[in-house]
Amino acid sequence: MHQNAVPPPLDYQAPVAEPEVMATTIKLMDYLHADEVFTSPVQSKQFLNSLSYDDFKRFISLVNGVERDVPISQRGVVGGPSLFEQNPILGEGVQYRPPGREDAEVLLAETLTVAQELDDPGVAGLTLAFAINAIHPFGNGNGRTGRFICALLAKGYDGSPEAQRYFSDILQETKGREVLNPNPAEHALDERIVGDMHAEVERRQGYTVGTAPAFLLGGYDAMPDEWDASNLMVSETISAEDRAMLDNVLNDGGSFPSLSILAVMPREVLTPYIMRRHDGFVLIRGDELIPSLTSEQIRQLAGVSRELKNEYVRRLIHFSDWPDAQAITNEYLDSSLN
């Protein structure tokens, strides 16, 4: 546990927010009685500690719905879409696929429990923001919602013009990330967690750490921005259901597909499909491996892939247990608090 931190005074000098965003922010803060309920980090933490899980869901759904102007009937935890990135050569591809809707509720409930047990409001706020980014419970605006919750706990809201401007800025889609960006990728926290998970699977499967394949190459008869279940290079005996299952595993971005394959397939089975490039980078030859997969192997991959993604999120929301948790919190919050 961490001791309550006393934040520096709010002295925010950013340009005035866009009028419509400022108006939405003031409306939201007035509705929440924010200048009474969230005056300081300590008061914000007391509010968080008073919430049941259903209350917590209603609160973050309210924030997300108001800042996106979503009707009340359409608000709630739904499980967000995959995140995409643009490669100048290969086109658009999946960067990160969040946990499925069936797991989002369990992970969010665990996040709330962890955050409520923490002493430091800033660490609790960052925990919630990390989780909202990683679980991606809403169709859009997850980053903005995470920034808002993080800022309430890390600095509070006193209703001053500076506070109004600050919260209005972080509720802007692009500009907000320049002010406060509690994204696990910002300080390579996501790489740290996946790297640890990869090393553990390597050891379990009998590899020397650092020698197992880190990425899958190919496996689809199409360019990355066209990848879907229909152009998977699987055997003709694979059903449409299993195709869709495998597509969810492989079209996940980063090293999660190779991590799932590495966890499921024994070293001696996978070895013929491993390629070591001249620069030492180790890959799985997807164009050769994917056609060899059986329905049973695909179902194993789907189950393990789900477990690995949930494990990644759990390690992220339990970052407060790490020896350097306070240093991580300072990295993310210091520039925003000054």
Q: Give the model's pLDDT for residue 12.
A: 47
> What confidence tens digit (pLDDT) does each residue in 7-66 have?
444 444 554 556 777 888 888 999 999 999 999 999 999 999 999 999 999 999 999 988
Given a cut of 60, whether residue 338 has pLDDT beyond it is: no
Cβ pair 90, 223 in contact under 8 A: yes
- Please choose, from the candidates 260, 255, 333, 259, the residue with its C-alpha nearest in 3D space to the C-alpha of residue 299: 260
Angstrom distance (rounded) from CA 62 to CA 64: 5
Beta carbons of 36 and 140 less than 8 angstroms apart:
no
Q: Which pTM was predicted?
A: 0.87
Q: Is 334 helix (H, G, I), strand (E, B) or coil?
A: helix
Share of the chain above pLDDT 70, in %: 87
Q: Binning pLDDT at 50, 70 and 90, where does residue 183 land?
A: very high
**Which of 61, 128, 133 is closest to 95 using CA atoms?**
133
Question: What band does 130 get if pLDDT is binned at 50, 70 and 90?
Answer: very high
CA angle 327, 329, 331 (to 5 degrees): 70
Alpha carbon of residue 137 to chain centroid: 10
Q: For the segment 78-129, what is each residue's pLDDT rounded down to a tens digit?
A: 554 444 333 333 334 457 889 988 899 999 999 999 999 999 999 999 999 9
Write b or e for each residue in 153-168: b if 16 or more Cβ atoms lie within 10 A of its Cβ, otherwise e: bbbbbebeeebbbbbb
pLDDT at 86: 34
**pLDDT for res 133:** 94
48 in Cβ contact with 117 (< 8 Å): no
Residue 69 pLDDT level (bands cut at 50, 70, 90): confident
* DSSP element (H, E) containing 16: none
Q: How sure is the predictor about 288, in pLDDT bands with cuts at 50, 70 and 90?
A: very high
pLDDT at 10: 47
Q: What is the pLDDT of residue 152?
A: 97
Q: What is the pLDDT of residue 237?
A: 94
Residue bearing the bigger pLDDT, 80 or 70: 70
Q: Under a CB-based contact definition with an 8 Å cutoff, are residues 254 and 194 in contact?
A: yes
Average pLDDT over residues 279-307: 95
